[in-house]
Amino acid sequence: MAFELDEVHEDFRAAVRRFTDERIRPVVVESESQGHPPEGLWKEMGAAGLLGLLTPAEFGGSAGEGGENTAVTVLAEELARACGGIAVGALVSAYMAGPHLVRHGTPQQRQDWVERIATGTAIASIAVTEPGAGSDVAGITTKAVRTETGWRIDGRKMYITNAGIADVLVIGARTEATGHRGITTFVVPADTPGLSVGQPLRKLGWHSSDTREVVLDGVEVPADAVLGAENRGFYQIMAAFQLERVVLAAMGLGHAAEALTMVTEYVKGREVAGAPLTHLQTIRHRIAAAEVELEAARALTYQAADRLDRDHPEAGRSVAAAKYFAAKVADHVVDEALQLFGGAGYLEETPIVRHERDVRILRIGGGTDEIQLEILSKRLIP
């Protein structure tokens, strides 16, 4: 594998960085305050081609030329440099919920939703996690029971990103009593009777991301609401987890890179005993060590993305390694940067505080550190 991005992806990175600097950074404070990005930002992102990287051209996207997972990884890294909450909302809609419709949707489901998600005129959410079932997807208890006209869904979902602003939800429900093979996914418009959402959850970080409980109380959907194959939802969800985990690793890269940029500039201008902090070897070495950790995490993350693009037999292992290592590195690097900011790093108006809040979830969401280590350890100790 080449550990450097090709020209196409480097050009894409430059384009995403320009968009981030010009259109996202100016609305971060507003988004953090109101709990979600400005409505118009979704359409701007869609018009810029940022939401259709996995979408076929016939539906307004750009997929088909290869390297799509790597492009999504670049996007996630660059968006997170500005704001994790804004980044995750867009990434969940276009690259965690949306791909289920692209890959498994019927012609009608794809016609109804895929282009709208890619252009930012509709927002998608995926509702799998429950109060008692997080990383253990097979443990979900939300039930879908067959009726004369389709299905009735009952249950509760928790920690659902975009739940309060979504137009459509991909919902995982149990259609057989137990086991991995008893789960089916459904396409459910947000205005379906019986589907409701709770108040926005107050979170440590991701303040720009709308996150809520979803309640399904006798939600009636037609037979053609099934997304993909009946009783195959677990496998569809787990396959989609691969890119989700790389995306979260890449967000960690973005947080760490931004933290290093900010703290490097800060210590250059900060004087102690009449000399810049950079004159102190311990400061220079801490920043250099953090940069090495970041580069190692970046190599693992982009290797994982590349292996997904090439359907490499070791892609799953690479994804678990990248998710585990990049999230841990990002958590450490951002914390190191905050430490070097000193007292200023503890003030809300200092952006490093937002990165400190936002980076912590990356070791939990999409499969915890422990889940990734379990995946990796099974190769060593069956």
Please state the length of the chain: 382
Which is catalytic among the residues 244, 258, 336, 356? 244
d(CA 150, CA 103): 22
d(CA 175, CA 264): 54
Contacts of 6 (CB under 8 A, 6+ apart): 67
Reduced to 3 states (helix: H, G, I; strand: E, B; else coil), residue 66 is coil
- The DSSP element (H or E) to which 47 belongs, if any, is helix 39-47
- The DSSP element (H or E) to which 284 belongs, if any, is helix 281-309
Contacts of 70 (CB under 8 A, 6+ apart): 5, 9, 302, 305, 306, 309
3-state helix, strand, coil in the chain (%, to 5): 60, 15, 25
d(CA 142, CA 140): 6
Do residues 210 and 198 lie in contact, with contact meaning Cβ atoms separated by under 8 Å? no
Q: How many beta carbons lie within 10 A of that of residue 193, not counting itself?
A: 9
244 is catalytic: yes
Do the bridges between strand 226-227 and strand 183-189 make them parallel or antiparallel, or are there none, so unpaired?
Answer: antiparallel
How would you label 207-223 residue by residue, b for 16+ Cβ within 10 Å and e otherwise? bbbbbbbbebeebebee
Do residues 162 and 123 lie in contact, with contact meaning Cβ atoms separated by under 8 Å? yes
Instruction: Give the single-character DSSP code of 131.
Output: T
Instruction: Give the single-character DSSP code of 202.
Output: P
End-to-end distance of the chain based on CA atoms, in angstroms?
28
Rounded to 5 degrees, what are φ and ψ at 262? -65, -45
Catalytic residue numbers read 244
